[in-house]
Each structure stands twice: as C-alpha cells, then as structure tokens.
Amino acid sequence: MKLGYTIIYVANVVEAVKFYEAAFGIKRQFIHDSLLYAEMNTGQTTLAFAANEAAEMGGLAIQPNTLSSLAAGWEICFVIDNVQEAYDHAIAQGSQPVIKPTLKPWGQTVSYVRDINGCLVEIASPVTS
Amino acid sequence: MPIPLGYTENLITPKSDRNVEAYWTHVAKGSGDSLILPDGRCDIILRFNEHHSKPPTPIVTGPSTIPYTVSFSTGDTWLGMRLRPTRGALLWKKRILMSENSVLREQDAIKLVPELFQLNRVGLNYSDFKRVLEPIFSVNVVSTNQPMLDAAVDLIHLGGGRMNIDDLATHVGCSARHLNRLFRQSNGLSAKAYSQLVRFHRGLRLIVQERHAISHASIEAGYTDQAHLTRSFRRFGGFTPSNLPSDLSIPTLF
C-alpha cells in the first residue's frame, strides 16, 4: 500500500484550487465538470479537493473545515528553501497567519498558516541530516 | 435495503432553490403492513385504491419523529409531495409549532390546504396532483432567516447529525437558542431533534447497508455507547438494533 491522495473536503472546490494556486504556487491538474472534485499537480502523492456534498454522498459524516472553527488535528506541509518568502506570499494571498517562520534546533525553518477553509498548512524548509 | 415495490420518487433539484423535496408515488402490489420510519418532513398525500371508485383521502402530515405502521391492500395508491426540512411552515403556517407527529385527514386536511378540494375526485393521476400543488409551493421563501436555516440543515446532514447545536449555531452565525427557535418555527422540530433523527438514520444505515457490528456503528454514528444507540433505535424505529425488521425500507434522504 502507498499513500496516493490527500483529499480535503471543502465548501467550494474551485475557490480552494484558485487559492492554492495563488497562495502556494501549485498548479491544478484538473477540475471535474461537476465542480465537486479537483486534483492538484503535486507529484506522486496527489493533493485533491472534494466538495462537502461528495462526503455526504459517500455516506461519510464529517466536521466541515472552516476558518471560524478550531483547526482539525492534522496538516499538510509544503517544503521550500526560502520559507520566509513563501510564508509572506501565502499571507499576502489571503492565508491566515498562525506561527511565523521559526528556526528549530534541528536546523529546519517551519511556519504555519491556515488556508481559506481553516485547514492547517505548514511551510517548512527541507530537513537536512 | 429493499425499496418497497411500486415506490417511485422524483427528487426536485437544485436543493437551494426549492421548497419541495420530492413528489412521490406508491402503488401497493399486495396487501400487508409497512413500517414507516420518521423523517422529520411534512407531506401532502392523497390516498386511494386504483380498483375502487371512491375519491381519494387527502392527508397532511406534520414532521414525524416516531415510527408508524400503515396497513394496505392491493391497488392502494399514494400520491405524495414532501417538503424540504424547514419548509413545513409554508404548509402549516403558525400551527407548525403544534404539528409534530400530527396527521390531518379529509376535511381537516382540506381546511389547511384548500387546493386539495380540487383533487377530491375519482380517476386522479400524478400530473393532476402536481399541477394543483406546484403553484402553492413555487413561491420563493421570503424569510431572511432561510439561508441560515438551509446552511444549518446542510451542516446537520454533512455531520450525520453529530455536530452539537452550539457548534452548529456558531457555524451559521447565531445562538443555539435562536437556531432551535427558528427551526421550530419553520419545521415544528428543534435543530436538536432533527439532528437526533439524522443520527439515527445514519446509525441504521451503517448497520443495515454497511453491515457494521452494533458497537462499531455506535462509535461512527456518534453515540456514547451501544445502549445510547439502542435507546435511539427504540425511540425512532420502535425496534432494537439486534432485532431489525427484515423488510425495513430506509428513506434515502439522510
């Protein structure tokens, strides 16, 4: 078994795709005609967005992701060399700041924002051994 | 999950622009009894037998929260129109507050929905039914609270009825008390009561369709333990999870 997808349920798939393109510089792979599902071009492990309705149709029961509620206890993490620049850009594009770039004792710079749906997104430098 | 033989349903979409959830018909192919599970919606129903020359019985229901049994014979026919949750007041007006589990028949039903008088004749069909009732409910809802109520219903469904009312109210931007009151005024049930009903239906589906063990279904449906789920099944279904009726038909609404 391998990790194939990270799928985030959102109120509006198209808005989420546009936001991720603008804030984190990743590109869309496709948006399904139904506007209920979209995939981003993130390499071997796909980041995808699905509409809340899709969760309901699939028989799931979920807590909706919204900026006004407490963040769910998991995150996605983007890795980049210049964390400060990426963090500033994400904020400028409408991300909610959480933890500004901080150098960890193990040499990694990490920062956290919340996306327009309140999902926790980490922006960090690569971990060097 | 057997859908009763002879049952058809025409769902109306898109859901954000409608007061009517579905027009449905049912023709009994045999005789017997059927357990109807509560769905918290209000219906207008005409019942007649296609082999008899008697005019139909008009029926108006309030939102049901208890199960009931319907006895029928071959040829019994129902034409139904089901309103969306939170649209019951369009039908019941101020009486919505007292409408939970109410059923009006004959003259009482006609008094509430005078248009039903036009349908009081032999040889009625689905098109007549729809043609007479459609204009009554095609009006756009004018209440400024409707978008908030619709958002709350969507969230209740999204969370399988598990989201507590305080969180639900925060999400839609009002207090829990206010939300419960709005719910009662629009559908005769509190948001909490409707959520409990949604949770029951999801728990039931997990056991019947997914064939989960009762203990697993209790956790996923959001009950504190198996006894909690059992109490809910008794209340809304009149059965226990270990002794489900074999011919149970589950509404596809939740």
Q: What is the pLDDT of residue B142?
A: 59
B170 — contact with chain A (CB < 8 Å)? yes
Q: What is the pLDDT along chain B (254 residues), one digit of tens a residue?
A: 455 667 777 766 555 557 888 889 999 999 999 999 999 999 999 999 988 889 999 999 999 999 999 999 999 999 999 999 989 999 999 999 999 999 999 999 999 999 999 988 888 888 889 999 888 888 766 578 888 999 999 999 999 999 999 999 999 999 999 999 999 999 999 999 999 999 999 999 999 998 999 999 999 999 999 999 999 999 999 999 999 998 888 877 77
B157 chain-A contacts, CB cut-off 8 A: 56
User: How many contacts, defined by CB atoms under 8 Å, are there between A and B?
Assistant: 32
pLDDT for B125: 85
B50 and A CB contact within 8 Å: no
| pLDDT at position B231 | 98
CB within 8 Å: A61 and B154: no
Sequence-distant (6+) residues with CB within 8 A of B8 are: B24, B25, B26
CB within 8 Å of chain A, chain B residues 180-239: 202, 205, 209-210, 220-222
Query: CB count, 10 Å around CB of A57?
Result: 11
Are B158 and A59 within 8 A, CB to CB? no
Contact between chains at A64 and B161 (C-beta distance less than 8 A): no
Q: Which residue of B has its CA nearest to A55?
A: B158
**Residue B158 to residue A69, Cβ atoms within 8 A:** no
Q: How many CA atoms lie within 13 A of A53 on its CB side?
A: 10
Q: What angle do CA A64, A67, A70 make, to 5 degrees?
A: 75
Q: What is the 8-class DSSP label of residue B56?
A: P
pLDDT at B1: 44
Write out the E strands in chain A.
5-10, 28-31, 37-40, 46-51, 75-79, 96-103, 109-114, 120-124
The answer to whether residue B134 neighbours chain A at the CB level (below 8 Å) is no
Contacts with A64 from chain B: Cβ below 8 Å: 155, 158-159, 171
Residue A46 DSSP one-character state: E
pLDDT of residue B3: 58
Contact B171 A68 (CB under 8 A): yes
Optimal mutation site among A10, A34, A35, A52, interface B, most CBs of chain B within 10 A: A52
Residues in contact with B47: Cβ distance below 8 Å, sequence separation at least 6, in sequence order: B56, B57, B59, B76, B77, B78
- Tell me, yes or no, if B106 comes closer than 8 A to chain A by beta carbon: no
Determine contact: B128 vs chain A, CB below 8 A.
no
Q: Give the strand order in the sheet containing A37-40.
A: A5-10, A46-51, A37-40, A28-31
CB < 8 Å from B in window 93-122 of A: none
Considering only CB atoms, A63 lies closest to which of B163, B170, B210, namely B163
- pLDDT score recorded for residue B15: 58
Tokens at B103, concatenated: 């059923």
What gap in Å lies between CA B64 and CA B37, rounded to an integer? 8
Strand partners, A78: A123
Name all contacts of A1-4 with Cβ < 8 Å and 24+ positions apart: A3/A45, A4/A45, A4/A46
Query: Angle between the B191-208 and B226-237 helix axes, to the nearest 10 degrees?
Result: 100
Residue A68's pLDDT is: 84
A positions 23-62 inside 8 Å of B (CB) = 52, 55-56, 59-62
pLDDT of residue B106: 94
Q: Across the beta sheet with A120-124, what order do the strands follow?
A: A75-79, A120-124, A109-114, A96-103
Return the higher-pLDDT residue of A128 and A71. Answer: A71
Task: Let me know: does B4 contact B202? Beta carbons within 8 Å.
Answer: no
What is the model's pLDDT at position B160? 95
Alpha helices in chain A (DSSP H): 13-24, 52-57, 83-92
A105-125 as b/e: b if 16+ CB within 10 A: eeeebbbbbbbbbbbbbbbbb
What DSSP letter does each residue of B161-176 carry, written as one string?
T-S-HHHHHHHHTS-H
Residue A62: which of B158, B171, B210 has the nearest Cβ? B158
Structure confidence at residue A57 (pLDDT): 87
Interface contact flag, B159 A63, Cβ < 8 Å? yes
pLDDT at B53: 86
Chain centre to alpha carbon of residue B171: 25
Q: Residue B53: exposed, middle, or buried by beta-carbon count in 10 A (0-12, 13-18, 19+)?
A: exposed
